[in-house]
Amino acid sequence: MGALTEGLEDYLEAVLLEEKDRRFVRTKDLAKRLGVTSPSVSAAVKALATAGLVNHESYGHIELTPKGRKRAQLVYSRHRTLYRLFAKTLGLPARISETNACAMEHRLDAGAVRKLMRLLEFLERKAGASDAFAAELEKALGDD
Amino acid sequence: MGALTEGLEDYLEAVLLEEKDRRFVRTKDLAKRLGVTSPSVSAAVKALATAGLVNHESYGHIELTPKGRKRAQLVYSRHRTLYRLFAKTLGLPARISETNACAMEHRLDAGAVRKLMRLLEFLERKAGASDAFAAELEKALGDD
DNA sequence: CTTCATACTTATACGAGACTAACATTATTA
DNA sequence: TAATAATGTTAGTCTCGTATAAGTATGAAG
């Protein structure tokens, strides 16, 4: 794992997500998604390009390199697992689940994510197989 | 909840924990606990004093105000709940559980912590009541 | 082909948080 | 009590991530 600040991981992940929507990713798209200004994106993209994680010609498209894509997908998969914990298992609002997932996705090591995923799978499997268990869990979590 | 950066919350929590061990909290104690240098602590304590969360005379003791203590305890309780998730429920090493708990304790809103606590209580209760359930959960989480 | 809107970059500055180096205070002990 | 060790603070610098302001490139319309 190359050294990469959390902020840069956020930008990298944003490129991946933005790619799914539009054919070419531009500075402006990332700025809008992340809620920052264009100069901030410029600086971050330059850093990512230096690290060999994206390709970017001046005034042109931003594209993930294979290495960058792999790293972005890793971050995103953590994000998804965490979101699943908060939103699906704990039943929190989407907005709050998203915030929490963003805050944690950079810091959880691979082992923790794996364990967490297994716990969620276990709970979902049990709840799917037994209505009694599902009801018990729901009751335990409360209404608020 | 007054505006307080995550960093300052860390310092505040450290004062609370340090208080439990020794009669008087000093700059050096916080520096050691947090793994930073004395000047960093000086600056942070000054900011906490300005915010009315600690009392501190120059070259003297550092003490929590009632307001500061309340805030510190809130942060710490979140920390404990998260640690419990990682260390006890997921079975991760203490060191890693600690890192993850630290990273999250500032960002989880009260609702998420409450839900999480209930989930952990539910799982612990089930595992305590049924050896079969405990074994099933342990198997689901895996050995690695 | 020139003009103009849009998008991108560069230059500069700021706040948070950390560091080192240097200075000040307190405590110890010879 | 005077020297010295331990501790605390101040001053100045660094990095990271953000912003604003101003200049540069692209592309669409007249």
Residue B34's nearest CA partner among B44, B48, B20 is B44
Å between B27 CA and nearest CA of chain A: 28
Say whether B51 sits in a helix, a strand or coil.
coil
CB pair distance less than 8 Å for B142 and A100: no
Contacts with A98 from chain B: Cβ below 8 Å: none
Distance, in angstroms, between B24 CA and closest chain A CA?
Answer: 33
Distance between the alpha carbon (CA) of A26 and the C1' atom of D26, Å: 13
- pLDDT tens for chain B, 144 residues: list them: 668 999 999 999 999 999 999 989 999 999 999 999 999 999 999 999 999 999 999 999 999 999 999 999 999 999 999 999 999 999 999 998 998 899 889 888 889 999 999 999 999 999 999 999 999 999 999 998
Q: What's the gap in Å between the CA of B126 and the closest CA on chain A?
A: 10
Residue A34 (CA) to nucleotide D18 (C1'), in angstroms, measures 12
Measure CB to CB from residue A107 to each of B100, B112, B121 and give the nearest one. B100
Closest CA to A83 of A108, A51, A50: A108
**B103 interaction partners in chain A (CB closer than 8 Å):** 103-104, 106-108
Residue B63 corresponds to which amino acid?
A: E
Quick one: pLDDT band at residue A2, thresholds 50, 70, 90? Answer: low
pLDDT at residue A99 in the model: 87
Model pTM? Answer: 0.89
pLDDT confidence band for A120 (50 / 70 / 90): very high
Identify the CA nearest to A96 among candidates B83, B114, B103, B5: B114
